Amino acid sequence: MATSTGHASAFRDALRSSKHIVVIAGAGLSAASGIPTYHDGGGLWRTLDATALASPEAFRENPSLVWQFYHYRRNKALEAKPNAAHGVVAKMSVPQCLKKVAPNAQSFHLITQNIDRLSADALQAVIRSLTSEQPSSGQAAKTKLTVYKDSILEMHGRLFDVQCTQCDHRVEDRSTPLTPALGAADAALDTYQDAGTKTVSIPEEQLPRCEKCGALARPGVVWFNERPLYLDEINNIMYKADMCLVIGTSSQVRPASTYAYRVRRRGGKVALFNMDPSEKDIAGADFVFKGPCEVLLPAVLPELH
């Protein structure tokens, strides 16, 4: 078993000596929170190719349909809560927590392909919890809670961001529906499976608009054929990394799929936490933990649970 005591102990020993720790996260991190993935074969839009809706070309051709798809994804994310795996990773962003398992740590970064904001929400929850636990008086109260700088990099954007197609103004907006027409389109469907067979055409002027200039807005995510965010920063981070945890993702999605390889090529260690890792994934890792990450991470790193 990949979760055997000896295997976990070897990983923990390697983590204890690591200085620059990186987590590469994918859809498997949020699966237990109920976030649908492109590859799970179920849920809304199953009668349409969801990947075909996540492109600039699809938005130009049919912004109404694309916005309805993202309205659904926004609602699913609004219903979701961070799971135990999010909590473990969130505590790694806080030096006083991370040093319990990695006393030599000098930096930590989460590079996530997820757009659901659950990692950011989990970190805010950890900060609130740790702040409330601090004494209100005495010397201990003077100890300021710190978080590693730029510890979360959302390379595929943020689902709740509304981005202008003209002036690039961007704002996070968690309200729902974003427009009455999007809410009415939802109400017109008997079941979510209807979305792929029933056409609800929303006039462009009734779709989300830029609050600054009034032009048509788009979801603030990175679509297929668009350049991921923070690539220069990520390249610098990966150059220094000596420990890489790959959580809930595989060797299929570039450029994230190349990061673990680069860490290992430079002598660093790679730990894989995945439900169903491929042979290529396993061959590229020093430590492989097979199973749901919301179970594995708290078991392997109980100090962060």
Tokens (6 digits) for 261: 């390889």
Based on the residue annotation, tell me whether 39 is a catalytic residue of this protein. no
DSSP state string for 157-220:
EEEEEEEESSS--EEE---SSSSHHHHHHHHT-SSGGGGGTS--PPPGGGS-B-TTT--BEEEE
Catalytic residue among 39, 109, 156, 305: 156
User: Which DSSP helix (H) or strand (E) runs through 75?
Assistant: helix 63-79
Cα–chain center distance at 232: 19
HSE, CB side, 13 Å, CA atoms: give it for residue 260.
29
Phi and psi angles of residue 100, each rounded to the nearest 5 degrees, phi first: -70, -30
Residues 6+ apart with CB under 8 A from 205: none
The whole-angstrom separation of Cα 96 and Cα 99 is 6
Helix (H, G, I), strand (E, B) or coil at 282: helix
Residues 6+ apart with CB under 8 A from 13: none
How many CB atoms lie under 10 A from the CB of residue 25? 27
Asked if 219 contacts 55 with a C-beta cutoff of 8 angstroms, the reply is no
Tokens (6 digits) for 135: 């004494």
The residues annotated as belonging to the active site are: 156
